[in-house]
Amino acid sequence: MPDQNKQIARQLAEKIRANVTHPMTIMEVCGTHTHALFAHGIRSIIPPELNLISGPGCPVCVTSQHDIDIMIKLASVPTLTICTFGDMMRVPGTKGSLLTERANGTDIRVMYSPFDVISWAEADPSREFVLIGIGFETTIPSFGATIKAAKEKGIKNLSILSLHKSVVDALEPLATIPGVSVDGLILPGHVVTITGIEPFKILETEFGTASVVTGFEAIDMIASIEYLTRMIHDKTPKVLNQYTRVVKNEGNRIAQEIIKEVFTPCDSNWRGMGNLPGTGLTLSKEYEDFDVLKRHKVEMEESKEPPGCICGQVITGSAKPTECPLFAKVCTPANPVGPCMVSGEGSCSAYYKYSRI
């Protein structure tokens, strides 16, 4: 960190200590923020009365066990090639994972962008390539643009399992998680870059929750905590944008249009939060032919969470990873029991990486 920033950080840390005159709880909604707080050493400079808890902002972690099992079941259909980001490969389903399926000879590919799948599908018309669509508003536009491009090119051997979730549509359940009292929210700057600020204003008007949109640099995060603790101290909750160099009030209109054209809201199952009506995204009428579950019927057995895993509580901020009896004993990044230890955005992987130093 440059010297000038170190000085600013010290001044902000002083102000945070002055603001925290009583116990306060702030939730970082996004898993990348959880990792950034550790990586920048910010937890070590905040007063003990300020409780930082992780929220449900890791898309891999909040995907329900049933949806993971569907993904693994699709991999067993001989004509399908499953295409996914690397994180999903190791997430344990009720029986096995995509990685174990691949070890058994199934054609499963790791993509770096959904657009990779267009060229794979064009190169091998004998197989159907299935995009595993997992993510929030940050990544949904690239999946939408891929499906739109496939339609325009007349590609028939490409489909999608859309397990996308909307942070915006889940704001009410996020702000009112039963048994979890949150005074302030650190909002995910990358999501709000797409959606714009307006949809988040209900946090101020309906829930009275102090919220700050912020980036991922150390100064961004310290400044956002200073804003939040000041608003909580002064009892003046608002939605503020600290990340103005990236986030515009109106968001990214082109990305919003793609989401609206290709997808439509549906109910969605969240790990730890259950079925949240209208928080998922399925294909719109115009693109429903690309829905893999409309093309292939899969017979599902009962899904079971990994025994002993408390990811559901970790995701909702009602337990810390270190409270899980399996943490760092049975469950490690090399041998993950639940998704929060697998994902690069997962809270358990952040605590494992940084809190044991």
Judged by CB under 6 A, which of 337, 343, 345, 350 binds ligand SF4?
Answer: 337
184 neighbors 203 (Cβ within 8 angstroms): no
Judged by CB under 6 A, which of 30, 37, 58, 348 binds ligand SF4?
Answer: 348
Sign, CA torsion 191/74/110/104: positive
**What are residue 158's phi and psi, to 5 degrees?**
-135, 135
Task: Decide whether 123 or 334 has the Cβ nearer to ligand SF4.
Answer: 334
Both structure tokens of 255: 């990305």
8 neighbors 219 (Cβ within 8 angstroms): yes
Q: Which stretches of the chain are DSSP H helices? A: 3-19, 31-39, 59-62, 65-75, 86-89, 98-103, 116-123, 140-153, 171-175, 189-195, 202-205, 218-234, 253-262, 292-295, 311-315, 339-342, 347-354
Q: Which residues contact 335 (CB under 8 A, 6 or more apart)?
A: none
Task: Decide whether 34 or 241 has the Cβ nearer to ligand SF4.
Answer: 34
By DSSP bridging, strand 108-110 and strand 80-84 are parallel
Q: How far apart are CA 19 and CA 230, in angstroms?
A: 5
CB of 301 to ligand SF4, least distance (A): 22
Task: Decide whether 196 or 272 has the Cβ nearer to ligand SF4.
Answer: 272
Instruction: Name which of residues 316 to 335 contact ligand SF4 (CB under 6 A).
Output: 321, 324, 326-327, 331
CB of 331 to ligand SF4, least distance (A): 3
Burial of 17 by CB count in 10 Å (0-12 exposed, 13-18 middle, 19+ buried)?
A: middle
Can residue 37 be called a binding residue for ligand SF4 (CB under 6 A)?
A: no
Instruction: Tell me the residue number closest to ligand SF4, measured at CB.
Output: 338
CB of 40 to ligand SF4, least distance (A): 22
Task: Decide whether 334 or 357 has the Cβ nearer to ligand SF4.
Answer: 334
Q: How far apart are CA 107 and CA 67, in angstroms?
A: 19
Instruction: Name which of residues 281 to 320 contact ligand SF4 (CB under 6 A).
Output: 309-311, 314
Task: Decide whether 57 or 251 has the Cβ nearer to ligand SF4.
Answer: 57
- Residues linked to residue 185 through DSSP beta bridges, in sequence order: 27, 211
Task: Decide whether 84 or 347 has the Cβ nearer to ligand SF4.
Answer: 347
CB of 86 to ligand SF4, least distance (A): 17
Q: How far apart are CA 328 and CA 350, in angstroms?
A: 12
CA distances from 21 to 25, 48, 50, 331 (A): 12, 11, 9, 37
Total number of residues that touch ligand SF4 (CB under 6 A) = 14
| x/- letters, 82..111, toward ligand SF4 (CB under 6 A) | ------------------------------
CB of 233 to ligand SF4, least distance (A): 33
Among 4-12, 46-54, 86-94, 336-344, which window interacts with ligand SF4 (CB under 6 A)?
Answer: 336-344
CB of 91 to ligand SF4, least distance (A): 10
Crossing angle for the helix pair 140-153 and 253-262, nearest 10 degrees?
60
Task: Decide whether 180 or 298 has the Cβ nearer to ligand SF4.
Answer: 180
CB of 269 to ligand SF4, least distance (A): 18
Judged by CB under 6 A, which of 237, 251, 317, 338 binds ligand SF4?
Answer: 338
Instruction: State the residues that interact with ligand SF4 by CB under 6 A.
Output: 309-311, 314, 321, 324, 326-327, 331, 337-338, 340-341, 348
